[in-house]
Structure 1
Amino acid sequence: MTRPLEIEAEPGRARRLLGSLLRPHRASAALAMLLVLGENAAHLAGPLLIAGALDSGIPAAVKGDPVPMVWFVAGYAVSALLTAGLRWGFLLVSGGVGQSVLIDLRGRLFTHSQRLSLSFHQSYTSGKMIARATSDIDTLSDLIDEGLDGLISSVLTIIGVTALMLALDYRLALIVLAGFVPLVVATVVFRRESAKSYRRTRTEIAKVITHFTETMTGVRAVQAYRREARNAKVLDEHNDGYRLAQNRSTTVLGAYLVVLRVVGTLSFVAVLALGAWMVSENEIAVGVLAAFLIYVRRFYDPLDQIGNFLNTYASATAALEKISGVLAQDPSVPEPARPTPLGEARGELRMSSVSFRYSERTPVVLAELDLHVPAGQTIAVVGATGAGKSSLVKLFARFYDPATGVVSLDGIDLRRLGEDDLRAAIVMVTQESFLFTGSVAENIALGKPSAERSEIEAAARAVGAHEFISALPRGYDTDVHKHGSRLSAGQRQLVAFARAFLADPAVLILDEATSSLDIPTERAVQDALETVLRDRTAVIIAHRLSTVLIADRVLVMDKGVVTEDGSPEELLSNGGEFAALHTAWTTSLA
């Protein structure tokens, strides 16, 4: 059994991903910085105008000269309007950048996940992938929409306020800046602890989504075996794990914010006490003290925002670590750097000294296998469950690469063929017969997206599917619904047959592709198969020996080794394992 894949966090990988996402938007980011600089400058001018009004405007007005006061009031109004307008512009620009980044990331993740090999998807659950594409990207959205905005404004405010406080009175400013020592220590501790907490949070929410996805996908089995209560209990356990992780994150954030508030309050009290004494000694003006106290408040309020940003950043970094981990995975079946052109495929297949295992931790499935399938030959592969039949055809389709040896098509190693040439030449129809949401015609046309309606209908006729499709409410335009649920299992397989036949490959692989057909439908497909398989190479895995008997050649496999190889007639006359399978099959029909 394949173990679930866990991708280890790598230092710096999440930051590199974020940098690559932001790099194409440098011009917009620069404009956003200019807007936020202007906004902060206008915002910081307010307390200075208040100080001027208190120390100059009011005394002048008392003496009968209201002009200075009017200018201070007008200046304050202009600063407020500029702050609001520049803020609006910043949100427009930064919002556009944020959405572009999220769309880019979601597209990268989706495109890359489709390129990853089958081995990855079998060990990395679909629920985890959904978690990466939904909750993890939503967390990054929170960082971009709110966190970065707050960080930029807060940092610029702190820098500006520090400069202004030093200009107003360096002695009072030093009292405020002294509070930075415990804040730096608290910030270092907070970043470390929040990072650990949010890594745990992303892991736990992925478990919730995975369990939910698996339950909904297998809801029929859940209901058939009355597993509802058990599944609800498992979900409660995962939810409890997520709750505990979230509580830990909230506790860490709360403790950090308490430190910020205590330090801020003590600094404010110290400035107020010392400032009042300095006013009484005529060392500073009342207006200067009033402006300074406003700046102290504006100095510590952004620190709260930075604390919230660090919390959001820790969560987003944990999410980005998960996403970047997926993006860092290389396909185990890579595209060749310089593909060898295939030309018009003939369909000759060959395995030379091929050994195969699914991973280093699993046993060998195929051992030193040599096999030649001439172009145009139909071979059937039979054997007990676990004999290696599906592994054989997966190598022919290059869903996996062999551990040793070479699998070739028309004398070319499959590892040297480009993906387009390979998939055009070799098509597999599996037992699942997966259909996408859309019309019947669209699902058949998957084999040849440029096909005309006449070609689609001709393919359906070739496999005996035209009659039932025509009887559907909208014929070929009927929506098959989710996973093809509108059609029966046999009808879905016929549509999958039509899809493969429309693709017109040189090699057609059928992996238990007739297992869901009833007897009347199977007989109709048998006639279609003999026509469609003519003049092309075919590899058929089937337990129903009625399908096997149309083959030119039969391979009997056992424990990854070919134990019998010959025509159906030869193997029946030899009285070996295939003859025993045939006897058991005919007896089951009696």
Structure 2
Amino acid sequence: MKDKKNNKNSIRRFLPYFSPYKHVLSLDLLLAALTTVCELVFPMIFRFLTNTGLNNTKELTINLIGKLGFLYLLLRLVEILAQYYMQNIGHVMGARIEKDMRRDLFEHLQTLDDNFYNHTKVGSIMARITSDLFDITEFSHHCPEEFFIGFIKIVISFIILIRTNIVLTLIIYILIFLMIILSTSFRKKLKRSFMDQRAHIGELNSSIEDSLLGVRVVKSFANEDLEREKFEKDNNEFLNIKKRTYKYMAGFHSVNRIFDALMNLTVIVLGGYLMYKGKIEAGDLVLYVLYVTTLLNTVRRIVEFTEQFQRGITGIERFFEIMDEKPNIKNKENAEILKDPKGDIELKNVSFSYSDSSELVLDNISLKVEAGESVAIVGPSGGGKTTICNLIPRFYDVTGGAILIDGKDVRDLDLKSLRENIGMVQQDVYLFSGTVYENIEYGKPGSSKKEIEEAAKLAGCYDFIMELEDGFNTNVGQRGIRLSGGQKQRISIARVFLKNPPILILDEATSALDNTSEKIIQKSIEILAQDRTTITIAHRLSTIRNASKIIVLTEDGIVESGSHNYLMNKNGVYRKLYDMGNSSIDTMEYLL
């Protein structure tokens, strides 16, 4: 009962996608009705021909046979043309609905925040965007057609047959009713199985994606056998789910076969007996044979379509599962557009914990960064440095307190305008599959070639780009795999140069660079940081000596604050970190 209610709810929510194509759908169903009528007329032509030949031989003329043949030829021609339209335009309608749903799903995914992606595997999302939506395409086209055609055939056949012989017709339709009832008993099992199948293919995709993207790590640890074992386990589990699916499907088809035999047996035995008693004519028995064959094919198509129906419903449910995900980070009503900010940033008693944890990452942190000021945050891993960077552009919202830009709470600002005014270079560099030019242009779409080249020069990556095989047109590969870590880092910095925002957040911006590259980038960053607010997260303390203020952040909060010279003279935590040279994460955790 619950499944039936869920199916109705899913279909109700899906129906609006038909709205732009209601005229196409109406014509499609009209032609479906036309093809059905053409198919149902043939048995009546054959009955008339048979009865005429047996009872009124004189009336069976060449002229009559020619007319019947012409009528049948005309009906077949109409049916072929209608079927062509249904197969062509009808399928295109389904593909357009798929395109609309994929568009809506992609747009919705863009609105979801980090919390969703932290708990959802990319492979699972990809399965919903691709294979699930393909099943919905087939469902959206065939579902209205199949049920509409099936309804017409069953109703019209009943009207014609009941006028021929009540008893035989009722027995056949009782068998059809029982066939449908027993077949639907497999429906719930099939649905659950298809849901499991869809869910697991997402898991399998994620497993494959992880293994292939991390293939260098796999090879470096010689763990190919381990990856094979993990894959084999997931692959076998998927096989077991499919085995269960095919078991239910086999039962499904066995029921069809049994009732197929029962209905044909009824026509042979009871129909033969009625003809023996003179209750029906030979042509009527032929009519029953042909209509029973038509009805069996119709019910079989509907029953077999249940597989596609369940795939489609499952796809629709999984589609709406994501569409029902609500972003935690969204604009307030009448959110204020952030225009030409000076760049004052203030953290007022900020506390933060992730939604799946009660442990506070930040606890009552207060910090003020003046416009144009360069502030560096250092400290051990887990102290909340990167969290602060993520809170300013509202990748997450504070649990307590507030973050202000120019005195305005970031939660009151329009998200797009807020993030347009913040440039970020993160520790985990991500380059899109495409050319170097396209990856830099991403910082400010539509920029001129001159602007992009200038950004590359400022970021210190112009020379190595020109040494690449195709220069700026060199394809970087998926996630920039064809470039070194340092090259990727410098291109990501060039993107921020191109964006030219008033607020900069540099989260380990030079962590992947060698000493030579680091010096080049450091000079570029110093140029970029002039007259704009800059917050830098750094483990290499040598890179932030010139910061106007250095914040030492630990699990206990802000323990020290001041310039490099002030903190060195204080001889506290910062001095210990600095004296350790490179100040790696492990060293900081050891000391603190």
TM range, smaller chain: over 0.9
The 8 Å contact of residues 143 and 309 in structure 1, kept in 2 or not, is answered as no
Whether the 8 Å contact between 1:175 and 1:271 is mirrored in structure 2 is: no
Counterpart in 2 of 1:585?
Answer: 581
In the alignment, structure 1 residue 86 sits paired with structure 2 residue 82: yes
**C-alpha separation between the residues in 1 aligned to 2:583 and 2:155?**
88
1:3 paired residue number: none
Structure 1 residues 79 and 580, CA gap change in structure 2 (3 angstroms): same
Residue 531 of structure 1 and its aligned partner are, at CA, apart by 1.2
Closer, same or farther: CA 345–373 of 1 in aligned 2, 3 Å: same
Question: Which residue is equivalent to 2:308?
Answer: 312
Q: Is the contact made by 2:164 and 2:280 (CA closer than 8 Å) also made in structure 1?
A: no
What's the CA shift for 1:515? 0.3
Change (3 A) 1:475 1:525: same
- Which residue pairs with 1:111 in the alignment? 107
Contact 2:540–2:583 (CA under 8 A) maintained in structure 1: no
CA gap of 1:329–1:127, structure 2 versus 1, over 3 A, is: same
Work out the CA distance in 2 between the residues paired with 1:504 and 1:532.
8
Match of 2:149 in 1: 153
Matched residue SS, 1:585: coil
Q: How many residues align?
A: 580
| Cα offsets for 1:117-153 (capped at 9, x unmatched) | 0111121011111121222223323434655544433
Seen in structure 2, the aligned counterparts of structure 1 residues 467 and 370 have a Cα distance that, compared at 3 Å, is same
- Alpha-carbon RMSD across the aligned residues, in angstroms, is 2.0
Query: Counterpart in 1 of 2:543?
Result: 547
Query: Helix, strand or coil for the counterpart of 2:367?
Result: strand
Matched, 1:264 2:250: no
Give 1:96's aligned residue: 92
**Using the alignment, how far apart are the partners of 2:503 and 2:117 within structure 1?**
25
Structure 1 residues 66, 58: closer, same or farther in 2, change over 3 A?
Answer: farther
Contact 1:431 1:515 in 2 (8 A): yes
The residue that corresponds to 1:474 in the other structure is 470
In structure 2, the residue matched to 1:401 is 397
**Residue-by-residue CA offset, 1:424-469 (whole Å, 9 max, x unaligned):** 1112111222111222222111111121111112211212122212
Taking a change above 3 Å as real, the CA distance of residues 181 and 155 of structure 1, as seen in their structure-2 partners, is: closer
Distance 1:394 1:217, change over 3 A: same
Distance 2:8 2:423 in 1: 41
Partner of 1:38: 34
111, 121, 141: which one aligns with 1:125: 121
CA contact (8 A) 1:253 1:307 kept: no
2:458 aligns with 462
Q: Which amino acid aligns with 2:51?
A: D
Aligned mates of 1:225, 1:456 — CA distance in 2: 39
Match of 1:233, as an amino acid? E
Q: Distance in 2 between matches of 1:11 and 1:133?
A: 20
> Would you say 1:254 and 2:247 are equivalent positions?
no
State the secondary structure of the residue aligned to 2:67. helix
Between the aligned partners of 1:77 and 1:287, the Cα distance in structure 2 is: 21
Please tell me the residue identity of whatever aligns with 2:122: S
Residue identity opposite 2:217 in structure 1:
A
- Match of residue 429, structure 2, among 410, 433, 436: 433
Partner of 2:200: 204
> Residue in 1 aligned with 2:283?
287
Q: Is residue 52–residue 72 contact of structure 1 (8 Å, CA) maintained in 2?
A: no
**Distance in 2 between residues matched to 1:264 and 1:53, nearest whole Å:** 27
Aligned pair partner of 1:68 in 64, 67, 71 = 64
Name the amino acid aligned to 1:530.
E
Q: Deviations over 1:282-313 (max 9, x none)?
A: 22211011011110111111111111111121
Q: Which amino acid aligns with 2:398?
A: P
Residue type of the partner of 1:368? N
Query: What do residues 332-368 of structure 1 show as CA deviations (whole Å, max 9, x unaligned)?
Result: 1113332202221111111122111111434110111
Stretches of structure 2 that go unaligned for 5 or more consecutive residues are 585-592
Distance in 2 of aligned mates of 1:295 and 1:23: 35
Structure 2 distance, partners of 1:483, 1:86, is 49
Write out aligned runs for 1:528-547 (5 A): 528-547=524-543
Contact 2:444 2:499 in 1 (8 A): yes
Tell me which amino acid in the other structure corresponds to 2:11. R
Deviations 1:501-531 (A, max 9, x none): 1111111101111101100111111111211
Give the TM-score normalised by the residue count of structure 2.
Answer: 0.94
Taking the aligned partners of 1:142 and 1:95, their CA distance within structure 2 comes to 8
Deviations 1:16-45 (A, max 9, x none): 442232232222111111010001001100
Q: Report Cα offsets for 1:207-259 as digits up to 9, x if no partner.
A: 21110111111111111112211111121211222112112122112212222
CA contact (8 A) 1:109 1:323 kept: yes
Q: Are the counterparts in 2 of residues 58 and 69 from structure 1 also a CA contact under 8 Å? A: no
Partner of 1:6: none
Distance of 2:456 and 2:163 partners within structure 1: 83
> What's 1:445 paired with?
441
**Is contact 2:460–2:490 with CA below 8 Å preserved after alignment?**
yes
Distance 2:188 2:129 in 1: 26
